[in-house]
A and B are shown apart, each in its own frame.
Chain A
């Protein structure tokens, strides 16, 4: 099994390298280069020349790619054009803030989703399921920015319980963010929970209809014992991967949420970077986010490997 684990890790790393290539190539493929993008209308003549020289743009792509990737491994992601600072400095705090957001949402959302999903699956088509599913579907179909906006409207403007827009500066210590993150986490968690819940529900329903559960019933296994020992291990197993995928997908949602709440995280930075056409920054963020995604997937893969008896005993 060690072999399988190593295989997966290697594949993950390979994918990351591959992705870095895609990111780099895509940025290169865009018309113009970092300097023309950044300078926009002012991109001409001496200004353009200086920019190119300062940032080493005129060197061949392959060299810049190599430099970029090797730098990334060491933690040096290049220089931001707009702010004229090393990117790693800029990203540092933002990453921390976004992680705070994302982790909180996950820690609340996933267990909640599992719990609700299992209930919905076990009580399929009856009252608990109808309510849970309806709310989940509504949460799933409404765009995140709508969710977030509505939350602000209700809880911040009408009820005044929590602040709506974040004003804390990005490099403030984490403690100061705690009251700020309540609504954003709620918005993120809502969507996350809804998606995961539905998947868990489907999985539970599938397992409940299987032959071995029918056998367990006919063997006289009491209901709750059956649920915990026979249903859940089989229902939750396939969801591990799906959960990871969902979490990763929601990385995209973080961008929108941060904009709505003006939260100083990686997402808002992305928007700013794109608005500024600061391509080096955008590239770096893309790579970072991809790395997180791949890491999450790898983790899920390995977790599944360990938990699924069929995969563990593949040698037989």
Chain B
């Protein structure tokens, strides 16, 4: 591998920008990176570490106002930043191609897919015109897209997310590039779709021998595709080695902390988090960038910036004391959740045959009293939630999990069934009709911290609202309480006067949590509360939620598409597909065998940050928009479908043991045997 010349060589590259005050703030510092033919390198780091900037820089592209501070980025020996426009144009999309982050937004909306792929052929290959179409069809087939001729004639917005992404891959492969740059190509895709696309990328890498640079914050994805992994922090490379080395025995304290903070399917614990957060550009002192958060930090770390050293195993580490890494106490004992499943008989919330529909019946139908023919968005939900427990609602997009939360919160009313709160209150009413006490006892936290806090209110005002509304607090008492709340979520008092735009994502989410707990609720609805956060921040937020629950005996309904996160926090789990329940039960049972075929598919698609563990692709990667009118909701994608009964009859609930139920036509014993055989 070392005799052939490298395809990409980044030498001492530093990139930054000038702020209003005239200071130069670095985004990348002294990056050295080499890519040989056939290699796949993963660039890993959290938001703000500069990995995307680096990938784009390899193409000679900088988003204004960034500029090169020093160093070069070579492609096949040429410095990308000193090439002419036409030279760059011939390389980009040709020998060096990019697969963008959000294909839906990266494909020109007014051009058909076929035209865009053929454009790549026209610009970068010598293929004669007559062969373009055939080649485009070939490419779409290579990326496993069915009915390529039809898809070629479609516009980007007519394709699903997974199809768009594959289309972007096809476009990048058109000129048979030597190097593929992938910038978080599976962000925003469903779990199962993600697994399929990654499998495709992995196979392509093996088949075509194309070298790849894969940028991602998701270590699980990296583990699937890359042989080499480079960990970045605050614009620097802090650790690199083979995938095995980095993912199994990282010797840099940050990499170690990062890996430990990823929840794993097999551990029902909230992973430990690293204190603090990454520095902002220009916020690094003369020492090591990680010094504020490192438990090994000594005086030298503050004074001297560590250089990259080669270890005995040929890894690269940027740490003064990496040899002592094993002397560190094993990463903090993870927070084991108190098994406070509590008395299952003390039911706090009871959903009985709840059905919710988003489609309003047309006025004419309403007058005539006709029921809407379309199947309800959510149907046949039976769920009993005990006081003090955490129940996870799991599913992909369209599963209805958020809809159910909204019905419980009173933002939407069910069209059928009842929701009973504390065995006395009927929650079928919309917010306006509920009593203030009920409103207080049920609180909700949202996914996106940027939009769940009013940008024009200070933190103090945000926290004051529930206190004023539910308890009528004012003046000094109000002020004291808000301060106490803020401190409880581990934010300093001076944050009170800050605006949301001055907080990081994790901090904003903490404020949202504080706001919810200000009401001293019995039930907190968590709608994908960590999905928009970086991994290490996620761990800290989960830890906080767990602590608060331990103190106050709060009940959580935790919605997420991320099974590992659910495994870490939930006592019981309910799996949803297209608005119908597939399986419910204690988490270790649901996540074990036997399980509903959909649960099996979800579990199989989970990407472990372990290069030896491959996902099991069970279900087809089809996008479904609405549930079938009869029978099992999973009938069209189930690999264990047994026949017409699945299409026509609603599957019965079968119980394996107390509390674990699966809705399937396949008898449990058979299901267990089938699933054990596969494993």
Contacts and interface: CB of A to CB of B under 8 A. Distances in A.
Interface of A: 210-212, 214-223, 229-230, 233-234, 237, 308-310, 313, 316
A309 B155 contact: yes
Interface string B67-98: 00000000000000000011011111110011
A221 B85 CA distance: 10
- Classify the secondary structure of A's interface with B: helix
A212 B108 contact: yes
B106 A212 contact: yes
B579 interface: no
A234 B109 contact: yes
Contact of B105 (A212, A218, A219, A310): A212
B123 A230 contact: no
B108 A217 contact: no
7 contacts: A214-B106, A215-B107, A217-B61, A221-B123, A229-B108, A309-B155, A309-B157
Contacts of A233: 110-111
Contacts of B63: 214
B371 to A, nearest CB: 25
Contact of A219 (B56, B93, B112, B157): B93
A220 B110 CA distance: 19
Contacts of A313: 155, 157-158
B419 interface: no
Contact of B108 (A220, A223, A230, A310): A230
A221 B175 CA distance: 13
A203 to B, nearest CB: 13
B171 interface: yes
Contact of A229 (B61, B86, B111): B111
B119 interface: yes
A312 to B, nearest CB: 9
A221 B102 contact: no
B93 A220 contact: yes
Q: Which 9 A-B pairs have the closest CB atoms?
A: A220-B93, A220-B92, A219-B93, A215-B106, A233-B110, A211-B105, A309-B155, A220-B89, A212-B108
B107 A221 contact: no
A47 B361 CA distance: 61
A211 B110 contact: no
Given A211-B100, A211-B102, A222-B89, A216 B108 contact: yes
Given A221-B119, A229-B111, A309-B110, A215 B100 contact: yes
B557 interface: no
A103 B218 CA distance: 59
Contacts of B102: 211
B175 to A, nearest CB: 9
A220 B91 contact: yes
A218 B59 contact: yes
A234 B63 CA distance: 21
Given A211-B102, A223-B85, A218 B107 contact: no
A215 B171 CA distance: 11
A103 B97 CA distance: 49
Given A217-B61, A221-B123, A310 B155 contact: yes
Contact of A210 (B89, B105, B157): B105
B171 A219 contact: yes
B120 interface: yes
B43 to A, nearest CB: 17
A220 B177 CA distance: 13
Interface in B110-146: 110-112, 119-120, 123-124
Given A211-B106, A234-B109, A234-B110, A218 B98 contact: yes
Nearest to B116: A219
B292 to A, nearest CB: 34
Contacts of B111: 229-230, 233
A214 B157 CA distance: 18
B524 to A, nearest CB: 36
B109 A218 contact: no
Which residue of B61, B85, B94, B155 has the most chain A CB atoms within 10 A of its CB atom?
Answer: B155
Contacts of A316: 158
Contact of A309 (B85, B105, B109, B119): B109
A173 B53 CA distance: 67
Nearest to B123: A220
A308 B111 CA distance: 10
B123 to A, nearest CB: 6
Given A229-B111, A230-B111, A237-B110, A221 B93 contact: yes
Nearest to A230: B108
Which residue of A229, A309, A313, A316 has the most chain B CB atoms within 10 A of its CB atom?
Answer: A309
A66 B124 CA distance: 67
B96 to A, nearest CB: 9
Contacts of B88: 220
Contacts of B93: 218-221
Contact of A212 (B59, B94, B107): B107
B87 to A, nearest CB: 10
Nearest to A308: B110
Given A212-B105, A218-B59, A234-B108, 5 more contacts: A214-B63, A220-B94, A223-B85, A309-B109, A310-B157
B109 A220 contact: no
Nearest to A218: B98
Contacts of B85: 222-223
A241 to B, nearest CB: 16
A24 B91 CA distance: 67
Contacts of B119: 219, 221, 229
A310 to B, nearest CB: 6
Contacts of A308: 110
Which residue of B56, B63, B109, B171 has the most chain A CB atoms within 10 A of its CB atom?
Answer: B109
Interface string B514-542: 00000000000000000000000000000
A220 B75 CA distance: 15
A212 to B, nearest CB: 5
Interface in B161-176: 171
A313 B154 CA distance: 9
B480 to A, nearest CB: 47
A316 B123 CA distance: 31
A211 B103 CA distance: 9
Nearest to A222: B89
Given A211-B100, A211-B102, A211-B106, A217 B155 contact: no
B531 to A, nearest CB: 21
B474 to A, nearest CB: 47
Nearest to B60: A218
A104 B362 CA distance: 48
A28 B325 CA distance: 90
A220 B124 contact: yes
A308 B88 CA distance: 32
Which residue of A211, A234, A316 has the most chain B CB atoms within 10 A of its CB atom?
Answer: A211
A217 B56 CA distance: 11
B109 A212 contact: yes
Contacts of A212: 105-109
Contacts of B106: 211-212, 214-215
Contact of A222 (B86, B94, B109): B86
A234 B111 CA distance: 10
Nearest to A312: B155
A193 to B, nearest CB: 25
Contacts of B91: 220
A304 to B, nearest CB: 12
Nearest to B172: A219
Contacts of A310: 109, 155, 157
A217 B92 contact: yes
A153 B123 CA distance: 55
Contacts of A217: 61, 92
Contacts of A215: 98, 100, 106-108
Nearest to B110: A233
A221 B91 CA distance: 10
A230 B112 CA distance: 11
